[in-house]
Amino acid sequence: MAERPTLAPAVLDELAAALDAERVVTDAAGVDEFKDPYWIPGDDSYLGSAVVYPTTVEEVQEVMRIANRHGVAVWPHGQGRGGYGGPSPRVRGSIQISLRKMDKVLEINEELAYAVVEPGVRWFDLYDAIEAGGHSLQLTVPDLGWGSVIGNSMDNGMTYMPYGADFQLLCGLEVVLPTGELVRTGMGAIPDNKSWHLYRRGLGPSFGEMFAQSNFGIVVKAGVWLQRKPEAYVSVNLSVGQDADFEAAVDALRELRLAKVIEGVPALYAALTAAPQLIDAQVDFDLSRPLTDEELQAYADETGVGIWAGRTALWGTKAIVEAKLEAIRRVWEAIPSGRVLASKVYAPADYPDITLSTEQVQAGIPTLQLIEAQPPWLGHIGFSPIMPLQGSEVRFVMEQIRTRLREDGLNFLGGVFAFNERTACIVTGIPFDVRDEAQTRQAYASAKRLVQEVGALGYGEYRAHVDFMDEAQGVYDWNDGAYRRFAETIKDAIDPNGVLSPGRHGIWPERFRDA
């Protein structure tokens, strides 16, 4: 194992003066808290040198000024719980900026249905604030509620209500630029503007999306769109008993989305994922070898979820929900092995009675059930390519993924997500035993090969693990990589010293490009 990275005493002294010494952490235990728990045992390739905990926007600005003075790379994160490398920095020895202590819910506007939060606010925190205030509002949430609302959203993390589609949740950002300068997006550029968190654009170029998945700035405040608690809510499971009906199921999801019968983000999970995801089953299957088609079918039949199992939900008046549910039944039950299993129809007063995690998530109630269903040794790495929402296209890419994993002795977890009416994403979770270094290394090698092999067929990832961000960005190579060159031109202009998150999603500042 290589020697641990350290910071120069002058840098540490300036950080301690800016933040107080107790919020500048350099001991091994404190820094190792921000390592990817699923990374290769004993490999310190992505180890930081220190963790700092700012509590104000001004402190974030000062950290960036210090980084610029000394040419030290920094890597910010909200809660550091993302599934694509967690808080690990791309450049070893970076200062990790944990925004956990910036955890205030600054505003909840009942009439216009939005909140304003800092980057350390978790899904649990915002949900609790909404409930404590007695607001008739609800929040679209991901499967795990421990992450940062801003951090997850800025990395294009999935949520399932209508604002989850095409990542519409955030509106109006306050951003610390790499130099330490502060900027507001959209209408926020007008002093005291009342529409900052209501309208994403302003006048001229729009920069809100520029900060998603980028290394162009640190979002320190954001508006979050909420929705009214509906009169009625129902969670809907869509089972497909036979793999032969997979393509028809994907096409059915598309038509239901295009018809606006389904308005959130529906998913179609493989059986191994569907059981813990939909019926709170414990993960207890053997991952020491790839399971055969016959074993997968037996598991699907035993658990009752089907070889593929969809999830969606409906929100609205009781009449609208019942009419849409009937429309879903007509479409889905036309699939030979299709079944529709709906929960009871809940009113907001019934939400405390919801116990099944899939129903909680789609009601906007954060939970940790999905991680609690897994044994502590189970790790995973994600591979998430985008494609048209067509059964034949999704089947083709799915077979490339499953064939590669089986050849490498691994299993497929995950499913198909309809990010919008026309787009599918296969979110692949490659499972492995974190105690088994050989299997862990094989999982990462397989994921990297998938990026390259599936990318060569024209399918790029929407989100990439820190270990293969360069390979994932390399797929976007039309016109000899014009997209990357354009992004790096912007990077060099706004971050002349190349200190903020160098290498994030394959975008490098000039001083690192030849390294």
Contact 386, 424 (CB under 8 A): yes
301: pLDDT confidence band, cut at 50, 70 and 90?
A: confident
Task: Report long-range pairs for 99-106 (Cβ below 8 Å, ≥24 apart).
Answer: 99/54, 99/60, 99/148, 99/151, 99/218, 99/220, 100/53, 101/23, 101/53, 101/54, 101/55, 102/54, 102/55, 102/56, 102/60, 102/220, 105/129, 106/221
Contact 379, 85 (CB under 8 A): no
The per-residue pLDDT for range 324-340, each reduced to its tens digit, is 999 999 999 999 999 99
Average the pLDDT over 249-272 and give the result: 96
Question: In this predicted model, which residue has the larger pLDDT, 323 or 296?
Answer: 323
CATH architecture observed for domain 476-513: Orthogonal Bundle (1.10)
Q: What is the mean pLDDT of the chain?
A: 94
Which residue out of 100, 184, 311, 463 is catalytically annotated? 463
- Domain coordinates in residue numbering, the chain: 9-98, 105-228, 232-468, 476-513
pTM: 0.95
User: How many CB atoms lie under 10 A from the CB of residue 210?
Assistant: 17
The per-residue pLDDT for range 361-408, each reduced to its tens digit, is 999 999 998 888 888 888 999 999 999 999 999 999 999 999 999 999
Which residue out of 65, 449, 462, 483 is catalytically annotated? 462
Which residue out of 84, 127, 160, 269 is catalytically annotated? 84
The per-residue pLDDT for range 423-432, each reduced to its tens digit, is 999 999 999 9
224: pLDDT confidence band, cut at 50, 70 and 90?
A: very high
**3-class DSSP state for residue 63?**
helix
Would you say residue 87 has pLDDT above 80? yes
Range in 172-181, 207-216, 268-277, 501-510 the model is least confident about: 268-277
Average the pLDDT over 435-459 and give the result: 96
Would the CATH topology of 232-468 be identical to that of 476-513? no
Distances, alpha carbon 100 to alpha carbons 47, 176, 220, in Å: 19, 16, 11
Tokens representing 271 are 């059986």
Superfamily classification of domain 232-468: FAD-linked oxidases, C-terminal domain (3.40.462.10)
341: pLDDT confidence band, cut at 50, 70 and 90?
A: confident
Task: Report long-range pairs for 411-415 (Cβ below 8 Å, ≥24 apart).
Answer: 411/272, 411/287, 411/290, 411/291, 412/270, 412/272, 413/270, 413/272, 413/273, 413/380, 414/269, 414/270, 414/273, 414/382, 415/267, 415/268, 415/269, 415/270, 415/273, 415/274, 415/308
Cα(first)–Cα(last) distance of the chain, in Å? 22
Instruction: Give dist(CA 436, CA 313) in Å, integer.
Output: 38
> What's the confidence (pLDDT) of residue 74?
99
Would you say residue 441 has pLDDT above 80? yes
Q: For Cα atoms 61, 64, 65, give the angle at the middle one, nearest 5 degrees.
A: 90
Q: Name the DSSP letter for residue 40.
A: P
Q: Which CATH number fits domain 105-228: 3.40.50.720, 3.30.465.10, 3.40.50.2020, 2.30.30.360?
A: 3.30.465.10
* CATH 3.30.43.10 for the 9-98 domain, yes or no: yes
The per-residue pLDDT for range 149-202, each reduced to its tens digit, is 999 999 999 999 999 987 899 999 999 999 999 999 999 999 999 999 999 999
| 463 is annotated as an active-site residue | yes
| 462 is annotated as an active-site residue | yes
Would you say residue 85 has pLDDT above 90? no
